[in-house]
Amino acid sequence: MEKTLQQKLIDAANEARKHAYVPYSGYKVGAALLTRSGEIVTGCNIENSSYTPTVCAERVAIFKAVSEGVVDFVALAVVTDNGGSPCGVCRQVMGEFMLEGTVLIADKDGNLLEEMSVNELLPRAFTPKHLGH
């Protein structure tokens, strides 16, 4: 993936991070998805006083896109304070739509810390193939 495009995606994730609703953890996360057609769809984490309804930034971005009929993704940038890695539930959701896609992990200053495929993040994944899709 081209460096300028990587940075554009990281910057979009960082911008979305500003909207994180995190009164409980204080841990802001921003995500930005690059679709196959070159569109960028963003998300932030949204917490809840009942805790379990909390959704991660990655899933918000993916579900926003899917709900608009877009299901083909190339890359996903995730920005946190300290380069936190996507949780297991988000990895599973990424595996559904972008197993071969790239994940960029960056910090709040926009520095790219890690780059890997979803396949690498979630080895031996249960995928749509196991259900014949």
For binding to ligand THU (CB under 6 A), which residues are involved?
22, 25, 27, 29, 45, 47, 54, 56-58, 84, 86-87, 90
Contact 34, 12 (CB under 8 A): no
SS3 content of the chain, % helix, strand, coil (to 5): 35, 25, 40
Closest approach, Cβ 66 to ligand THU, in A, equals 17
The answer to whether the Cα torsion of 4, 7, 9, 15 is positive or negative is: negative
Closest approach, Cβ 92 to ligand THU, in A, equals 11
Which one, 56 or 118, has the nearer CB to ligand THU?
Answer: 56
Phi, psi of 47 (to 5 degrees): -90, 170
Closest approach, Cβ 104 to ligand THU, in A, equals 13
Residue 15 annotated in active site: no
| Catalytic site positions | 58
